[in-house]
Amino acid sequence: MFGKPNLKILSLVTTTICAFTIFSDFIGMLHRPNSLSDAIITRGSKVPRSSIAKLSMLYGEPNPLYERALAAHTPHNRNFGYSMYVLREKTLPGYWSKPAYILDQLLAELALPEEQRLKWLVWVDGDIVLMNPKIPLEIFLPPEDKWGHIHALVTNDHRGLNNGVFFLRVHEWSVWLMTATLGLEIYQPDVELEFGDQSAMGIWVKDERFRDNIMHVPQRWFNAYAGNRGETNGLFADPLSPQTKVHANSIKEGDLLVHHAGHKSLRAQRMTPWMDVAEQHLPQWELDLDETEYEQEIKEFWQNEAPKEKKRVDNMIKKEQNDKMKKQMKEAEAAKKIEDAKNVAQDKKGPGHEKQKDLERRGS
């Protein structure tokens, strides 16, 4: 799709874009001060610092609901020793601040002595509601004995990659992935990026340069949607009602979190009931790990499904190509219908119509 020489050019472009941001934050991050953007270090005093940290961003007009969603991470962070870093100032247009911030954090970690570095970063969008603070992020990591080459864990929904939550290993490879993602819009301006940085990242995760180090895992694990619950016409899901229609990516009681992607105009209405429930710490949602299906599901996935990743991605690429071809055919058919309609209208006006128009133009 894109070769190594192009990646080198992309890296130069991207470095120019975010050099100032990375440099200024890099100097301040070497010892991870609490003042970095908004560093939420909320682990309990008796809990050792985890090698996993969370990243998010929240800036612009004050949004109490999103602030509540961020605060919902506090019990989780305390339970397992997670640091959480939140970008509070917009650095690039759209949502491009997201890959820039991740790149910033990666470079800062890699500049530290290896024994002081974090091992994984977990990105979490602002429209996530953490439902069960008893689930450790470590259970999702690839087994190092056989899958130590996996540097990213991602999930897909019906539209392709959804990067509302994903895992990145602190590694040079991850720097290249974020660099490529960040630079695509400028270096390849003709590439259609329907969902901005998400679409750009979606291109690269299927590219030969990166795909061997990426694993697509079940979306429900850590990027679940609300699904259908209660009598809410499909637009809203009541967290206190049972599922009325089961989807593979719908949250179950005891799962880690719920992601309210899409439907921006309805997001507050959709998030609020889940936020209310999360803050009540209800026992039906906050199950212990051994009461959930996670451990068995994850074990079976790495044994049986992970080896099929290459075929899975090949099928994604094939489907994407077929969908693109169908779209082009539909567009061509629509254009032909418009042209045919114009020709029919012209024929109805008769052969002398153009000559009459020409005479009128000369007369005027």
248-274 residue pLDDT tens: 999 999 999 999 998 788 999 999 999
pLDDT for 342 equals: 80
Share of the chain above pLDDT 90, in %: 65
User: How much is the pLDDT for 352?
Assistant: 60
Return d(Cα 149, Cα 277) in angstroms, integer.
Answer: 38
pLDDT 10s digits, 90-106: 999 988 999 999 999 99
AA letter at 350: G
Give the pLDDT confidence score for residue 230 in this predicted structure: 86
Q: Give 199-250 pLDDT, tens digit per residue.
A: 999 999 999 999 999 999 999 999 999 999 987 666 789 999 998 888 999 9
Q: What is the pLDDT of residue 341?
A: 80
Statement: residue 113 has pLDDT above 70: yes
Token output for 121: 């970063």
Residue bearing the bigger pLDDT, 172 or 339 = 172
Cβ atoms < 10 Å from Cβ of 325 = 10
How many whole angstroms separate alpha carbon 359 and alpha carbon 364? Answer: 9
Contacts of 139 (CB under 8 A, 6+ apart): 289, 294, 295, 298
H/E segment holding residue 152: strand 152-157
- Of 249, 196, 202, residue with least CA distance to 221: 249
The per-residue pLDDT for 344 is 80
Could you tell me which residue, 334 or 40, shows the higher pLDDT?
334
Q: Check pLDDT > 60 for residue 23.
A: no
| Mean model confidence pLDDT for the chain | 87
Q: Helix (H, G, I), strand (E, B), or coil: what is residue 46?
A: coil
Per residue in 189-202, is it b (16+ CB within 10 Å) or e — as a string? eeeebebebbbbbb
Report the pLDDT value the prediction gives residue 190, as an integer from 0 to 100: 86
The pLDDT, as a whole number, for residue 32 is 45
Give per-residue pLDDT as tens, 289-312.
999 999 999 999 999 999 999 999
Q: State which amino acid sits at residue 286.
A: E
The answer to whether residue 198 scores a pLDDT higher than 90 is yes
Higher pLDDT, 15 or 112: 112
Radius of gyration of the chain (CA): 25
pLDDT score, position 10: 57
Report the pLDDT averaged over residues 13-21.
49
Name the CA dihedral angle for 18, 20, 26, 28, rounded to a multiple of 10 degrees. -140
**What span, in angstroms and rounded, lies between the C-alpha atoms of 325 and 335?**
15
Give yes or no for a contact between 226 and 24, defined as CB atoms under 8 angstroms apart.
no
pLDDT in the model for residue 141: 98
Contacts of 252 (CB under 8 A, 6+ apart): 220, 224, 243, 292, 293
pLDDT at 6 over 80: no
The CATH class given to the 34-318 domain equals: alpha beta
* Residue partners of 144: CB distance under 8 A and separation at least 6: none
The per-residue pLDDT for 36 is 39
pTM: 0.82
Nearest to 103 by CA among 30, 181, 39, 49: 181
pLDDT value at 18 more than 70: no
Encode pLDDT of 158-194 as tens digits: 999 999 999 999 999 999 999 999 999 888 888 889 9
- pLDDT tens-digit readout, 317-331: 998 888 888 888 888
Per-residue pLDDT, 26? 42
